[in-house]
Amino acid sequence: MQIICDKCGHIINKDKIVQGKIVEEYINIYGTFCSECGALNKSYKKTDITEKDNKIELLREQMREKLRKKLRRK
C-alpha cells in the first residue's frame, strides 16, 4: 500500500518486499507519520467501525426477537 502525504506529497511505502515480491502488505489502520515532514496521515479505512456497528445492530435484533418470543408465551 502506498500512502501519499497530504501535506508534502511524499510517497510512503511500508510493504515488506523480499526478492521483488510483496510478502506482507502494510495496512494503514491507525495512521502513519510522514518521514519527510512529520505530518500524520490518517487512516483511509473506516470499515472497522461500520462492521462493529453492524454486528451490534444484529445482536440487538436477535435479542429483540428472543424477547418477543418470550413475551408471547406468557
Q: Report the distance separating Cα 58 and Cα 53, nearest Å.
A: 9
Q: Name residue, grid cell 526478492.
A: 19
Count other Cβ atoms within 10 Å, centred on residue 39: 13
What nine digits make up the cell of 30? 491507525
Band of residue 63 on the pLDDT scale cut at 50, 70, 90: very high
Residue 47 has pLDDT above 60, yes or no: no
Instruction: Name the percent of the chain lying above pLDDT 90.
Output: 16
- Kind and range of the H or E element at 73? helix 47-73
Band of residue 71 on the pLDDT scale cut at 50, 70, 90: confident
Q: Report the distance separating Cα 30 and Cα 13, nearest Å.
A: 15
Enumerate the domain spans of the chain.
Answer: 1-43, 46-74
Indicate the pTM of the whole model: 0.47
